[in-house]
Amino acid sequence: MKRIAILVCGKAVGNACTGSSCMKAMNCRKGTFARYESEEIELQAFFQCSGCGDDLEHNSGLQEKVERILKIDPDSVHVGVCTIEKDTKKRCAVIGKMLKIFKEHGIEVLNGTHDSELLQEVIE
Ligand code: SF4
């Protein structure tokens, strides 16, 4: 069984996002969840940043979220397409810092949850 977490953009979640596209992709083993087609998965966390302007160095809540994820120690963190800035095609810098820490601790980071053309264009 794979233990996974999903990381999304706080701005998206605070607006129109319900997380349903991520959930549907996960439940139907589509998008980046297709790799678990014949495997059980357990969603251990669905989390988000603390919003624009709250960077990792100065936000204790965000630091705590990272620590909690490290403690849970999922096999993989799937990162929503919402964390990619549409104009620049670059990953949000706040999210990028979080991902760097996860990778340094041996947690696999996967670009995207459900399918999106933007995923093919992202500049890390
Ligand atoms: S910091 Fe990045 S991921 Fe978080 S709300 Fe702002 S744009 Fe979205």
**Ligand 1: residue whose CA is nearest its atom 6:** 52
The pLDDT score that the predictor gives to residue 113 is 97
Across the chain, mean pLDDT equals 94
pLDDT exceeding 90 applies to what percent of the chain? 85
d(CA 39, CA 89) in angstroms, rounded, equals 32
CA 29 to CA 115: how far, in whole Å?
11
- Which of 95, 98, 99, 113 gets mutated to test ligand 1 (max ligand atoms within 8 A of its CB)? 95
For the CA of 53, the closest atom of ligand 1 is 1
Could you tell me which residues come within 8 angstroms of residue 45 by beta carbon, excluding any fewer than 6 positions away?
5, 6, 68, 69, 72, 74
From the CA of 52, how far away is ligand 1's center (Å)?
A: 5
